[in-house]
Structures are given as C-alpha cells and as structure tokens.
Amino acid sequence: MATAPLWAARSQCQTRQSSHSPLGNPSATQRKKVTINTLRALHQRDEPITMITAHDFPSAHVADHAGMDMILVGDSLAMVALGMEDTSEVVLEEMILHCRSVARATKSAFTIGDLPMGSYEIAPEQALESAIRVVKEGRVQAIKLEGGVEFAPTIEKITRAGIPVLGHVGLTPQRQHSIGGFRVQGKTTTGALKVLEDALAVQAAGCFAVVVEAVPAEVAALVTKKLRIPTIGIGAGNGCSGQVLVQVDMSGNFPPGRFLPKFVKQYGNVWAESMRAIESYKSEVKSRQYPAPAHTYPMPAEELTEFERLIDTTT
C-alpha cells in the first residue's frame, strides 16, 4: 500500500498544531449557496428572510454556520469594529478589507457590502466604480447603498452593469445630520408617503430588495405590500419580508450600560462570557495553574537528560 511522502505528513502535523490555523471548517450541515433566485423564492412563498451583519472572518463564520440567508458587511463596522464615532468616518478601502475577510468565511449565505459615505454620492459613475471594487476586490455578491428617489439613477447605473443592489430607505444613518439625527421616519402621512415613494423608486431602479429602517410597523407593512421586491426591516416591525440586526448588538458583545436602540433584542451575552474566560485565563497564569502538563509538548527523557548534561558541561 502506498504511503504519503514524509513532507506531507510533516505538513499535516504542523497544520494541526498551529495556533493560528484557519477557522474555516465546513458546517456540520451543508446547504446550498444562497443566490438572488433563492431570495426571490423565499419572498414568493412568504418565508421571512434572515440577515445579520458581520465585519470579519469569525463573525461571518458563525453567521454562516448559523444558517443566515444574507450576511451584510455594514458600515456599522465603523463603530463596532474600528471604534469610530459614526459611519461617516469609514472609507471604501476599509470596507473592502472587511468584505474580503467576511467573504473568506462565508460559504453559503448571500453576501452584501455597504458603500460608505463619500463613495457614491458625487455621480453614478463614481458609484459604479466603487461598486465594482467592492464586488471584485471585496468578493461579495451585491452592494448596498442608502437613499431613495434621488439615488435611483445611481442604482440603475449599477444594476445595468450586472451588480445586484440592496436599497436602504427610511432612516439613512449616513445622512443623520441632514435629518436631525437618528430619528424614526414616516411617523406623519407626509413622511410615510416619502418612505413609500423612495421604496418604489429604488425598486424601479432595479434593487433586488430594500432595507426599511426605523419606520412605524404599520407603515412598513403597507410599504411591503406595495412592493414586488422583499423588504428587510430593522426597527420596522414584523410585517417586512425579512429582518436584519447588527451582530454585535443582538449577541451582546458590548460592556454593560451601552445604549441599544429600542428595536434591538439581545439574544446572548458574548461580553460576559468573554470576560469570564479572559479573567479565568489571567488568574490561572498568575497562579501558574496554566499551562498544565496537558497543555505542553513532551520531550523524551533521554533527550532531556542529554540536554541537561550539555548545559552543565558548557557552564
């Protein structure tokens, strides 16, 4: 029977023992790659579409294994991953870097990259160039941009080039200063009509779906009924075609006392578990409980004896 070359065996051994090996083992339950057609099929049979944000390899890895339909590399990473004050600070190159990291971990979910502020507003041509970079360099399947009627020509330019676009209406955080801060949109008849007008405009421009953020549930449900494409709600009630949350928020990966928007439900407490683990590690290192013999590599007794003899003779 043929045997593997010695170098191959050594390579496998080194890979297994590396503390920096990739985390990308296949999911225990394999599923087909989610595509635009998959999302349309979910929408047609009225099955809610699940979407969550991810900003790096580990956060995308767990989201993909959990079975998310879509993973968004949102510009919220400016705050939750880069420690910035708001989304206006993050630049295109940073978004592309994070998209690439997420893409490496995502085997099944449909991935979307946010176009950050300043990368698409000047002209449709600028937006198309940015979108191409996010898809080509970031390795995602679609892009997202904020805005309604005023950005319909931009969306049309991108979709005509064959790049799927996820729209975003209602509260548009990149424009917080022009709308008076992070305020609920569509609370008046005029405001609700504006949300509908924007949603219809991005649909006509070619969006495959649209995020509806911080809009009264009743308004979002009525807007959803008027559209042919799915709506993905965030703070817009359960009448939307699907939902999205920021992973850091919903998983509880933040210290106690941090502000959370009303629409966020915290499903876990990653911060508390991480604190417990790190504090235990610190304690065991200080007391020399860690590393225990089980965490060290053995050396043959005769080799150790010879090593000690050589040390004694050289000193």
Q: Write out the catalytic residue numbers.
A: 213
- Of 213, 143, 229, which Cα lies nearest the Cα of 179? 213
**Residue 10 one-letter amino acid:** R
Distance CA 194, CA 197 (A): 5
Give the DSSP per-residue string, the chain: -----HHHHHHHHHHHH-TT----PPPSS--PPP-HHHHHHHHHTTPPEEEEE--SHHHHHHHHHTT-SEEEE-TTHHHHTT--SSGGG--HHHHHHHHHHHHHH-SSSEEEEEPPTTSSSS-HHHHHHHHHHHHHTT--SEEE--BSGGGHHHHHHHHHTT--EEEEEES-GGGTTTTTSS-----SHHHHHHHHHHHHHHHHTT-SEEEEES--HHHHHHHHHH-SS-EEEESS-TTSSEEEE-HHHHHT-S-TT----TT------HHHHHHHHHHHHHHHHHTT-SS-GGGS----HHHHHHHHHHHHHH-
Contact 182, 171 (CB under 8 A): yes
Confirm if 244 and 230 have CB atoms less than 8 A apart: no
